[in-house]
Amino acid sequence: MRALAILFVVLLFVGCGSQPAPAPVPKAEEPAAPDTTAPAPVLAHEVQSIVTASCLPCHAAGGSAAKYDLTTPENLAKLVVPGKPDSSKLYQVLASGKMPPSGKLDSTRLATFHKWISEGAKDK
Ligand code: HEC
Protein backbone atom coordinates (compact mmCIF):
# COMPACT_ATOMS: atom_id res chain seq x y z
CA MET A 1 0.00 0.00 0.00
CA ARG A 2 2.78 2.37 1.05
CA ALA A 3 4.79 1.45 -2.02
CA LEU A 4 1.75 2.13 -4.16
CA ALA A 5 1.29 5.52 -2.54
CA ILE A 6 4.92 6.43 -3.21
CA LEU A 7 4.63 5.22 -6.79
CA PHE A 8 1.53 7.35 -7.16
CA VAL A 9 3.30 10.47 -5.85
CA VAL A 10 6.30 9.81 -8.11
CA LEU A 11 4.05 9.36 -11.13
CA LEU A 12 2.22 12.54 -10.23
CA PHE A 13 5.49 14.50 -10.19
CA VAL A 14 6.75 12.95 -13.38
CA GLY A 15 3.38 13.57 -14.95
CA CYS A 16 3.33 17.21 -13.94
CA GLY A 17 6.93 17.78 -14.99
CA SER A 18 6.22 16.70 -18.53
CA GLN A 19 3.01 18.72 -18.87
CA PRO A 20 3.21 21.90 -20.94
CA ALA A 21 2.07 25.05 -19.17
CA PRO A 22 -1.72 25.14 -19.02
CA ALA A 23 -3.36 27.15 -21.80
CA PRO A 24 -4.52 30.57 -20.57
CA VAL A 25 -8.18 30.48 -19.64
CA PRO A 26 -10.18 33.11 -21.57
CA LYS A 27 -11.82 35.73 -19.42
CA ALA A 28 -15.36 34.67 -18.59
CA GLU A 29 -17.06 37.95 -19.50
CA GLU A 30 -15.45 37.98 -22.95
CA PRO A 31 -17.55 36.14 -25.60
CA ALA A 32 -15.54 33.88 -27.92
CA ALA A 33 -13.86 35.78 -30.75
CA PRO A 34 -16.22 35.85 -33.74
CA ASP A 35 -15.18 34.06 -36.89
CA THR A 36 -15.42 36.60 -39.72
CA THR A 37 -14.98 33.93 -42.38
CA ALA A 38 -18.21 32.31 -41.28
CA PRO A 39 -21.25 31.83 -43.56
CA ALA A 40 -24.44 33.89 -43.07
CA PRO A 41 -26.24 31.87 -40.38
CA VAL A 42 -23.11 31.82 -38.24
CA LEU A 43 -22.56 35.54 -38.81
CA ALA A 44 -26.14 36.35 -37.81
CA HIS A 45 -25.67 34.27 -34.70
CA GLU A 46 -22.44 36.08 -33.84
CA VAL A 47 -24.02 39.49 -34.40
CA GLN A 48 -26.85 38.43 -32.12
CA SER A 49 -24.49 37.29 -29.40
CA ILE A 50 -22.43 40.51 -29.55
CA VAL A 51 -25.62 42.59 -29.39
CA THR A 52 -26.84 40.53 -26.44
CA ALA A 53 -23.59 40.93 -24.55
CA SER A 54 -22.65 44.51 -25.49
CA CYS A 55 -25.91 46.32 -26.20
CA LEU A 56 -28.86 44.73 -24.43
CA PRO A 57 -27.78 45.68 -20.92
CA CYS A 58 -29.00 49.17 -21.93
CA HIS A 59 -31.10 48.58 -25.05
CA ALA A 60 -33.81 46.35 -23.59
CA ALA A 61 -36.73 46.84 -21.23
CA GLY A 62 -35.41 48.32 -18.00
CA GLY A 63 -32.13 49.53 -19.52
CA SER A 64 -31.00 53.16 -19.75
CA ALA A 65 -31.69 53.18 -23.51
CA ALA A 66 -34.82 51.01 -23.54
CA LYS A 67 -36.47 53.40 -26.00
CA TYR A 68 -34.05 52.05 -28.62
CA ASP A 69 -35.07 48.44 -28.05
CA LEU A 70 -32.59 46.14 -29.81
CA THR A 71 -34.04 42.86 -28.59
CA THR A 72 -35.81 41.95 -31.83
CA PRO A 73 -34.42 41.30 -35.32
CA GLU A 74 -37.07 43.74 -36.65
CA ASN A 75 -35.76 46.60 -34.53
CA LEU A 76 -32.18 45.79 -35.39
CA ALA A 77 -33.17 45.71 -39.07
CA LYS A 78 -34.44 49.31 -38.83
CA LEU A 79 -30.85 50.39 -38.15
CA VAL A 80 -29.48 48.54 -41.15
CA VAL A 81 -29.31 49.18 -44.89
CA PRO A 82 -28.66 45.67 -46.21
CA GLY A 83 -25.49 45.57 -48.29
CA LYS A 84 -24.39 49.04 -47.11
CA PRO A 85 -22.62 49.01 -43.75
CA ASP A 86 -21.43 52.60 -44.11
CA SER A 87 -25.02 53.82 -44.60
CA SER A 88 -26.29 51.73 -41.69
CA LYS A 89 -26.93 53.53 -38.42
CA LEU A 90 -25.98 50.34 -36.61
CA TYR A 91 -22.54 50.19 -38.19
CA GLN A 92 -22.03 53.96 -37.92
CA VAL A 93 -22.49 54.05 -34.15
CA LEU A 94 -20.15 51.06 -33.76
CA ALA A 95 -17.45 52.29 -36.14
CA SER A 96 -17.47 55.80 -34.67
CA GLY A 97 -17.12 54.34 -31.18
CA LYS A 98 -20.36 56.05 -30.04
CA MET A 99 -21.73 52.66 -29.01
CA PRO A 100 -21.18 50.90 -26.74
CA PRO A 101 -20.48 53.95 -24.53
CA SER A 102 -17.87 52.02 -22.53
CA GLY A 103 -15.58 51.81 -25.57
CA LYS A 104 -15.46 50.83 -29.21
CA LEU A 105 -15.83 47.16 -30.09
CA ASP A 106 -12.60 45.43 -31.10
CA SER A 107 -11.81 45.22 -34.80
CA THR A 108 -12.81 41.56 -35.07
CA ARG A 109 -16.31 42.28 -33.76
CA LEU A 110 -16.60 45.39 -35.93
CA ALA A 111 -15.63 43.26 -38.94
CA THR A 112 -18.36 40.77 -38.04
CA PHE A 113 -21.00 43.53 -38.22
CA HIS A 114 -19.47 44.91 -41.42
CA LYS A 115 -19.53 41.52 -43.13
CA TRP A 116 -23.00 40.67 -41.85
CA ILE A 117 -24.47 43.91 -43.23
CA SER A 118 -22.45 43.65 -46.48
CA GLU A 119 -23.92 40.21 -47.07
CA GLY A 120 -27.47 41.47 -46.69
CA ALA A 121 -27.93 41.39 -42.89
CA LYS A 122 -29.81 38.10 -43.04
CA ASP A 123 -31.19 37.11 -39.70
CA LYS A 124 -30.69 33.40 -40.39
C1 HEC B 1 -24.25 51.71 -21.19
C2 HEC B 1 -25.49 51.71 -21.91
C3 HEC B 1 -25.46 51.46 -23.40
C4 HEC B 1 -24.88 50.40 -24.08
C5 HEC B 1 -24.12 49.23 -23.49
C6 HEC B 1 -25.17 50.62 -25.47
N7 HEC B 1 -25.90 51.74 -25.63
FE8 HEC B 1 -26.62 52.47 -27.39
N9 HEC B 1 -27.39 54.07 -26.41
C10 HEC B 1 -27.36 54.28 -25.06
C11 HEC B 1 -28.00 55.53 -24.76
C12 HEC B 1 -28.17 56.12 -23.36
C13 HEC B 1 -28.44 56.07 -25.99
C14 HEC B 1 -29.16 57.38 -26.24
C15 HEC B 1 -28.05 58.38 -26.47
C16 HEC B 1 -28.43 59.44 -27.41
O17 HEC B 1 -29.60 59.61 -27.72
O18 HEC B 1 -27.48 60.09 -27.88
C19 HEC B 1 -28.05 55.11 -27.00
C20 HEC B 1 -28.30 55.29 -28.35
C21 HEC B 1 -28.06 54.35 -29.31
C22 HEC B 1 -28.44 54.47 -30.69
C23 HEC B 1 -29.12 55.66 -31.33
C24 HEC B 1 -27.99 56.64 -31.56
C25 HEC B 1 -28.32 57.74 -32.47
O26 HEC B 1 -27.36 58.43 -32.84
O27 HEC B 1 -29.49 57.92 -32.83
C28 HEC B 1 -28.02 53.34 -31.34
C29 HEC B 1 -28.18 52.99 -32.80
C30 HEC B 1 -27.37 52.52 -30.33
N31 HEC B 1 -27.40 53.16 -29.13
C32 HEC B 1 -26.82 51.30 -30.59
C33 HEC B 1 -26.12 50.55 -29.66
C34 HEC B 1 -25.47 49.32 -29.97
C35 HEC B 1 -25.50 48.64 -31.33
C36 HEC B 1 -24.88 48.89 -28.82
C37 HEC B 1 -24.05 47.65 -28.62
C38 HEC B 1 -22.87 47.52 -29.43
C39 HEC B 1 -25.16 49.86 -27.78
N40 HEC B 1 -25.91 50.87 -28.34
C41 HEC B 1 -24.75 49.76 -26.48
C42 HEC B 1 -26.80 53.45 -24.12
C43 HEC B 1 -26.11 52.29 -24.39
pLDDT, tens only, 59-94: 999 999 999 999 998 999 999 999 999 999 999 999
Please tell me the predicted confidence (pLDDT) of residue 91: 98
CA of 65 to the centre of ligand 1 (A): 6
Question: 55 in ligand 1 pocket by Cβ < 6 Å?
Answer: yes
Counting ligand 1 atoms within 8 A of each CB, the residue from 46, 55, 116 with the most, and so the one to mutate, is 55
- CB count within 10 Å of CB 110 equals 19
Question: 93 in ligand 1 pocket by Cβ < 6 Å?
Answer: yes
Distance of alpha carbon 37 from alpha carbon 18, whole angstroms:
36
Pair 43, 35: CB distance under 8 Å? no
Distance of alpha carbon 53 from alpha carbon 100, whole angstroms:
10
